[in-house]
Amino acid sequence: MKEIIKFQFSKKDLMKKAHEIRYEVFVIGQNCPEELEWEFEDESTHYLLIDNGVPKATARYRKTINGYKLERFAVLESERGKGLGHKILKRILFDLSNFKGLIYLHAQVDVIPFYEKIGFVKEGKQFEEAGIQHYKMTFKRN
Close Cβ partners of 136 (under 8 Å, ≥ 6 residues apart): 104, 105, 106, 107, 122, 123, 124, 127
Residues 6+ away with beta carbon under 8 Å from 54: none
- Give residue-wise pLDDT tens across range 34-51: 777 788 899 999 999 999
For the domain with range 2-139, which CATH number is right: 3.30.70.3450, 3.40.50.720, 3.40.50.620, 3.40.630.30?
3.40.630.30
Q: What are 50-101's pLDDT values in tens digits?
A: 999 999 999 999 999 999 999 999 999 999 999 999 999 999 999 999 999 9
Mean pLDDT value across the chain: 93
pLDDT at residue 106 is higher than 90: yes
- pTM for this model (two decimals): 0.94
> Where residue 142 falls among pLDDT bands split at 50, 70, 90?
low
Name the residue ranges covered by the structural domains of the chain.
2-139
How much of the chain exceeds pLDDT 90, in percent? Answer: 84
Percent of the chain whose pLDDT exceeds 70: 99
